[in-house]
Amino acid sequence: MTPAASNAPPPPYPCLAQESCVIRHQLAEQLAQLERSAAMDSLTGVWNRKHFDQVLETEIDRSLRHRQPVSLILLDIDAFKLINDQFGHSAGDAVLREMAQVTSGLIRSSDALFRWGGEEFVVLATATGHRNASRQAENLRTAIAAHRFPAAGQLTISLGVAEHLGEESAAEWFQRADAMLYAAKRGGRNRVRVDTRGNSDQWASTQASSALHLNWQEGYESGEPTIDREHHELFDRANELLDTFLSGEEKFARIAPVFDRLMQHVAAHFADEELILERHGYAKLEAHRRLHARLLQRAQELRGAFQAGQVHLGGVVEFVAGEVVARHLFRADREFFALFARQEDAA
C-alpha cells in the first residue's frame, strides 16, 4: 500500500478498487489546492479581492445574527508611485510582498488580510467595533513607520476604518472605509481616520440591563482608558453580586462583603472619573458629581436596610443593575462620551 493510500480519508461512496480510491483522493487534494490558489494574490500570497468579495457577505450575515461587530481597516502605502519611479517595479513588488508579510504578522489570527489592488490592502477585523479597530489601525501605522524595507527604506501608510452599520450592503460599508482612507490621505498621510459609527453603538444603546448578567460591549466605551477600564471592572463586580443573588443566598454576612467590594470600587471610580472630567473641562461636572453622591448615599441606605431585614437582596440587585448601570452608566455617563471623541478627532 502506498503512503498516499494509507493516509487517504474514507471516500464519500465505496471505491470499486483500491487504485480508484487513491486517484480520487489525489484529485480532491488537487482541486482543493486549485481553489486556494484562485483565492490567493499571486504576488503577495494573501487573500485576493475576489475572495474578499465572496467572504464579506458571509461576515455581515454572521455579525447581524450573533450581534457581534465587524470592521474594515483599509490601508494604502503612501507615495508608492515614487518607489516604483525611484527604485523600479521589482523593488515595488518586493515592498508589496514584505508589506503583506509584516501586516499578516501584526493582525490577530481571527482577522484576515486581503490585497484589494495596487498598493491597497484590507483587514477584515471580526468581533471588533470601530474603537478597537481604530487601535489596531494605529498599531499597524506605527509598526510600519518603524519598519525598514530593504528594497525602499522606511515607508508610511494611511488607514481608513469603518465598522458595519445597520443593514448596509458590503459596497456601502466599503465606501465608508474608503472615504476614511481618502480623509487620511488628504489630511497629510501617515495617519488613521475612523468613521465613528457602527452596530456596536446601536446594540449597546438598545440593550437593556439584565437582572441575570451584565455583558460588557465595546459600544459602552467612552474612549478614555481609565474610565473604560473601571467601567468594565464595575460590570465584573456587579456580576459577582448577581451570581450570589441567583444562587439563592440571602444571608447578610455572606452578601455584605460582595456588596462592599462592589461599592468600594464604585466610590473609587466616581472619584477618578470626576478628576478626569475636571481635567478635561467637562461643563456638567458639578451636576455629575451630585449624581455620584446621591448614588453612594443610596447604596449605604440600602445596605443598612438589607442588614435590618427591611429589603430583600432583590432590591439591592435592582439598585445595582437599574440605577448604577442602566440609568447612570448607560445614560448619564454617555453625556460626556462626546468630550473624548472630539479630542481623538483633534489628535
The CATH number of residue 292's host domain is 1.20.120.50
Q: 137 and 233, same structural domain?
A: no
**What is the average per-residue pLDDT within 293-317?**
88
pLDDT of residue 15: 52
pLDDT of residue 214: 77
Would you state the cell numbers that stand for residue 50, as one nine-digit string? 475576489
Is residue 201 in some structural domain?
A: no
**What is the average per-residue pLDDT within 100-106?**
96
pLDDT of residue 321: 81
Q: Which residues contact 162 (CB under 8 A, 6 or more apart)?
A: 71, 72, 74, 130, 173, 174, 176, 177, 179, 180, 194, 195, 197, 198
* pTM given for the model: 0.64
**What is the average per-residue pLDDT within 242-256?**
79
Is residue 202 in some structural domain?
A: no
Q: Which residues contact 242 (CB under 8 A, 6 or more apart)?
A: 211, 212, 213, 214, 317, 320, 321
Is residue 301 in some structural domain?
A: yes
pLDDT of residue 209: 44
Q: Name the active-site residue from 59, 98, 119, 230.
A: 119
Q: Among 133, 111, 129, which residue's Cα sits nearest to residue 69?
A: 129
Q: 101 and 76, same structural domain?
A: yes
Q: 102 and 166, same structural domain?
A: yes
**What is the average per-residue pLDDT within 322-334?**
84
Q: 279 and 246, same structural domain?
A: yes
pLDDT of residue 25: 57
Using CB atoms within 10 Å of the CB of residue 192, give its burial: 0 to 12 exposed, 13 to 18 middle, 19+ buried: buried
pLDDT of residue 114: 97
Which has more confidence, 345 or 181? Answer: 181
Has residue 17 got a pLDDT over 70?
A: no
Distance CA 197, CA 168 (A): 12
Which residue segment(s) compose the domain that 12 sits in? 3-39
- Decide if 119 is catalytic: yes
Average pLDDT of every residue of the chain:
85
pLDDT of residue 29: 59
Is residue 44 in some structural domain?
A: no
Cα–Cα distance list, 154 to 70, 82, 143, 291 (Å): 31, 13, 11, 52
Which has more confidence, 50 or 186? Answer: 186
**What is the average per-residue pLDDT within 86-96?**
95
The amino acid at residue 266 is V
Has residue 249 got a pLDDT over 90?
A: no
Q: 246 and 175, same structural domain?
A: no
β-strands 153-154, 157-163 pairing: unpaired
Has residue 207 got a pLDDT over 50?
A: yes
pLDDT of residue 20: 53
Q: Which residues contact 171 (CB under 8 A, 6 or more apart)?
A: none
324, 328, 331, 333 alpha-carbon torsion, rounded to 10°? -120
Would you state the cell numbers that stand for residue 83, as one nine-digit string? 518607489
How big is the chain by its Cα radius of gyration, in Å? 27
Distance CA 305, CA 303 (A): 6
Is residue 200 in some structural domain?
A: no
Q: 180 and 64, same structural domain?
A: yes
pLDDT of residue 339: 87
Q: 325 and 213, same structural domain?
A: yes
In contact, 128 and 70? CB cutoff 8 Å: yes
Which has more confidence, 207 or 243? Answer: 243
The tally of domains found in the chain comes to 3
Residues pairing with 194 in the sheet: 161
Q: Which residues contact 338 (CB under 8 A, 6 or more apart)?
A: none
pLDDT confidence of 184, banded at 50, 70, 90?
very high
pLDDT confidence of 123, banded at 50, 70, 90?
very high
In contact, 79 and 95? CB cutoff 8 Å: no
In contact, 111 and 88? CB cutoff 8 Å: no
Number of H helices, E strands in the chain: 13, 7
